[in-house]
Amino acid sequence: MPFGLSGFHLTDGFEVLLLSAAIYGILRFIRSTRGVGVLRGLFTFTIVALFSIALLDRYAPGGIAVVKFILEKVTPYFALIVVILFQEELRQGISRFGQSGLLRFGSNTAESPTELTKIVTTAKRLANQRTGALLAFERNISLKPFSDGAVSLDLPISSILLETIFFDGGPLHDGGVVVKGKRITAASCVFPLTNNPRIARRLGTRHRAALGLSERTDAVVLVISEESGEISLAADGELHKPVPQDQLEKRLSELLKTESKITEQLQADGSPEEATS
């Protein structure tokens, strides 16, 4: 037997792979939520507390009986405390797991061909009518911070709903829409504008908002110009324009399935290159 492998069995390897996948999934999910700051604070507090207790127990034995007593009483309820603090994130994670399936490894883009086709068909119709639209597809990084204060919907994707939202002159027309999985979660959202000085001045507010959101998150953003009816797609701080209508579904599907270059950070390190017509 090779050195170090005499006691290693196939089941041990399976356990290592299973635990690694579970830990990776949990960390990836926590990173995409706003609870990561709370978890980091709890972890730091726990390390500092354990380190302090170890020092006091060594140099002042018997002098921290009260602290030990409190920890002994609180520790059994630590799991319950974590569940209470992360109840919203856990609810979102369970919902995401049920929608995405086991083989998607936490991806938020659960658009089936039917749902994607509905969006593409609506986008073509809006483009032909020269109705402006701004649609963001949430992936691994949550868009909730950009939809706070917007109109919360949580409705299934439908062409009628999208056309109603973007109806020219309607109260929700000028804002952005967030799509998460198979549902429209928010409308009338205000997305951050890009600060890139190299983008063309002719680009309007919708295109700047699409670029700004794609620079800060891994979202894929669909933009329709009300002046020209031109369809564009923004991802990773880059604007792809114009996108021919007959290639829209293919290009959108490719971007949604591609791992984002900025998944591990909310702000892109470099400035996106200017898109050309």
Can you give the CATH number for the domain in which 199 is found? 3.40.1700.10
Asked if the structure places residue 150 within a domain, the reply is yes
pTM attached to this predicted model: 0.55
Picking from 264, 176, 190, the residue whose alpha carbon sits closest to that of residue 220 is 176
Residue 136 belongs to domain spanning: 113-257
- Averaged pLDDT, 218-236: 93
Contacting residues for 153 by C-beta, under 8 A, at least 6 apart = 184, 185, 186, 187
Q: 218 and 96, same structural domain?
A: no
Domain count, the chain: 2
Asked if the structure places residue 269 within a domain, the reply is no
Helices (H), the chain: 10-31, 36-59, 65-74, 78-85, 87-100, 113-128, 144-147, 159-165, 205-216, 248-257
CA Rg, the chain, in Å?
A: 24
41-60 tens-digit pLDDT? 777 777 877 777 777 667 66
CA distance 262 to 49: 35
- Averaged pLDDT, 258-271: 51
Q: 201 and 117, same structural domain?
A: yes
Q: 117 and 251, same structural domain?
A: yes
Out of 12-21, 107-116, 138-147, 192-201, least confident range: 107-116
pLDDT for the residue numbered 172? 84
Asked if the structure places residue 4 within a domain, the reply is no
Q: 228 and 130, same structural domain?
A: yes
Task: Say whether the peptide bond before residue 2 is cis (omega within 30 degrees of 0).
Answer: no
Out of 186-200, 239-253, 259-273, least confident range: 259-273
Q: What is the mean pLDDT of the chain?
A: 77
Asked if the structure places residue 268 within a domain, the reply is no
Contacting residues for 202 by C-beta, under 8 A, at least 6 apart = none
pLDDT band at 90 (very low <50, low <70, confident <90, very high): low
Asked if the structure places residue 2 within a domain, the reply is no
pLDDT for the residue numbered 245? 93
Q: 97 and 156, same structural domain?
A: no
pLDDT for the residue numbered 154? 86
